[in-house]
Homo-oligomer: A and B are copies of this chain.
Amino acid sequence: MPRRDATLQASTADLIERIALFFETEGFSRIGGRIFGRLLLADTAMSLDGLAADLAASKASISTETRSLERRGLIERVGKPGDRRVYYQVASELPIPTMSVRLERWRRFSRLLEEAPADIARGSTVVRRRLDDTLAAHRYLLAEFSDALERWHRRRGSPRQA
């Protein structure tokens, strides 16, 4: 029974675990969630084996899950001079990609409705109207939300005064 690295505070490990549980309900694997949680609370970028040791998981899992998290824009890879390992850190403009991923999901559903063949609701005005209404709401809310995201980005995005 491998133990988690002792350098991790109990409260930190706790929060990481809760984040992982949350991520699990969002379609990630538990380890994926742990990685994200660990990086979110990390003072500095971490290497693959650092994560593996820290989270008591195999390097195979870390490798797979980091790639998945990266593809979804939640984390990014960085290098360190004089070190050939790859380091991972939370995406620099974190809120944007997080929300963008969610936006993308909605769009997929909207597209699904749009693609509904014309013949599907033929003869049934009630269905046709329901689909139209739903689609209209999605369009409206998606647009509003994109705007808000854009606004936030402009308001906060530029100042890189670390």
Contacts and interface: CB of A to CB of B under 8 A. Distances in A.
A83 interface: no
A120 B13 CA distance: 10
A42 B127 contact: yes
Contacts of A115: 15
Interface residues of A, number: 50
A22 B131 CA distance: 17
Interface of A: 9, 11-12, 15, 18-19, 22, 25-27, 40-43, 90, 94-96, 99, 102, 105-106, 108-109, 112, 115-117, 119-121, 124, 126-127, 130-131, 133-134, 136-138, 140-141, 144-145, 148-149, 151-152, 156
5 contacts: A41-B127, A42-B127, A43-B124, A90-B130, A137-B152
